[in-house]
Amino acid sequence: MNLKLQLLEDGKVVLEIPLSSTEWPKDKLETELEIIEGDFPRYSRIFDALSNETRFKMMRKLLEEEDKTISFADFMHDLELNPKLVWENARKLTEGGFLKKTGRGEYSFSEFGESGFMMISLALRRLMEALEEFEGL
């Protein structure tokens, strides 16, 4: 398999990652895996934050808001959640780095939040589809 993941900015490749261990020099792959292992608590918080359907719906709702801000009460009302569920899930999204509290009962994306959510949810879905298609060939 000779798949590579590319990140482009204005048509210019800013990151290219081979998706097969055979495409990596052994020492570089070992270094990358050591770095990932060291950052594992951070990755765990990120994936834990998005590994729940309610939290995904909360992020989607926030993304749909024109000003990218939503109130605690709107989370409750729009998603039909009780206060405890909103609080617990907002806490997980905050710990994962996606949300920040901007005022009394108001939430918005953190600096990482919107692009992180888009990249992880949308790009990962497309990447999985491409890998499944490639495997099917």
- Look at residue 44 and tell me whether its pLDDT is greater than 80: yes
Q: Taking residues 126-131, report their average pLDDT.
A: 84
What does the domain layout of the chain look like in residue ranges? Answer: 24-137
Q: Kindly state the tokens that stand for 54.
A: 């309610």
CATH fold label, 24-137 = Arc Repressor Mutant, subunit A (1.10.10)
Q: For residue 93, what pLDDT is reported?
A: 96
pLDDT, greater one: 131 or 98: 98
C-alpha torsion sign, points 129, 58, 76, 95: positive
Interval 72-120: pLDDT, tens: 999 999 999 999 999 999 999 999 999 999 988 899 999 999 999 998 8
Say which range, 23-32, 51-60, 61-70, 119-128, has the weakest mean pLDDT: 119-128
Spell out the residues 6+ positions from residue 117 whose beta carbon is closer than 8 angstroms to its own.
Answer: 50, 59, 63, 98, 109
Q: Please answer whether residues 79 and 58 qualify as being in contact, where contact means their C-beta atoms are separated by less than 8 angstroms.
A: yes
Residue 34 CA from chain centroid, whole number:
21
